[in-house]
Amino acid sequence: MKLILALATLCAGLTLMSLFVGSGNVALRETIWAYFGAGDPLVVLVMQELRLPRAALALLIGAALGFAGAAMQGFLRNPLADPGIVGTSAFAALGAVIALQTGIVALFPMALPLMALGGALISVLALLALAGRGARTTTLILSGVALSSAAAALVSLVLNLSPNPFAANEITFWMMGSLADRSFRHVSVALPILLLGAMLIWRSRKGLDALSFGEETALSMGVNVRRLRLQLILGTACLSGAATAVAGMIGFVGLVIPHLLRRVTGGMPSRLLLPAALGSGALILAADIAVRIILPGRDLKLGVLTALLGTPVFLHMVWKSRGRDT
Partner 1 sequence: MRLRAVLLAGLWLAGAASGAAADPAQRVVSMNLCTDQLAMLLAAPGQLISVSYLARDARSSAMAEVAQNFDINHGLAEEIAFLRPDLVLAGRYTTRVTVDMLQRLGYRVEVFQPENTLDDIRTNLLQMGRALGREAEAERMAEEMQQTLLSLREAADDKPGPETAVYYSSGYTAGARSLGHDIVTTAGLQNIAPKLGLGASGILPLEALILSDADMVIRGASYQGYSRSEEMLRHPALERMLAAPRLTAETRPEWTCGTPLTLSAIHDLRAAAGLEPLE
- Residues forming the site for partner 1 (CB under 8 A): 22-26, 42-43, 45-46, 49-51, 100-101, 103, 105-106, 162-167, 169-170, 173, 181, 183-185, 296-298
Q: How far is the CB of 49 from partner 1 (least distance, A)?
A: 4
Report DSSP letters for 272-315, one per residue.
Answer: HHHHHHHHHHHHHHHHHHHHHHHSTTS---HHHHHHHHHHHHHH
CB proximity list for 20: less than 8 A, separation 6 or greater: 28, 31
Q: How far is the CB of 238 from partner 1 (least distance, A)?
A: 23
Nearest residue (CB) to partner 1, 104 versus 196: 104
Nearest residue (CB) to partner 1, 79 versus 303: 303
User: How many angstroms from the chain centroid is the CA of residue 295?
Assistant: 23
Nearest residue (CB) to partner 1, 16 versus 199: 16
Nearest residue (CB) to partner 1, 51 versus 259: 51
Q: How far is the CB of 111 from partner 1 (least distance, A)?
A: 12
Nearest residue (CB) to partner 1, 26 versus 219: 26
Q: How far is the CB of 120 from partner 1 (least distance, A)?
A: 20
Integer Cα distance of 25 and 43 in angstroms: 10
CB 17, CB 284: distance < 8 Å: no
**Helical H runs in the chain?**
2-18, 28-35, 41-46, 52-76, 88-101, 104-107, 111-131, 137-161, 171-176, 184-203, 205-211, 215-220, 225-247, 253-265, 269-294, 302-321
Q: How far is the CB of 90 from partner 1 (least distance, A)?
A: 17
Q: How far is the CB of 23 from partner 1 (least distance, A)?
A: 4
Q: How far is the CB of 155 from partner 1 (least distance, A)?
A: 13
Nearest residue (CB) to partner 1, 185 versus 206: 185
Nearest residue (CB) to partner 1, 249 versus 278: 249
User: How many angstroms from the chain centroid is the CA of residue 51?
Assistant: 20
Long-range contacts from 114-117, C-beta under 8 angstroms, 24+ separation: 114/193, 115/245, 116/92, 116/241, 116/242, 116/244, 116/245, 117/92, 117/193, 117/237, 117/238, 117/241, 117/242, 117/245
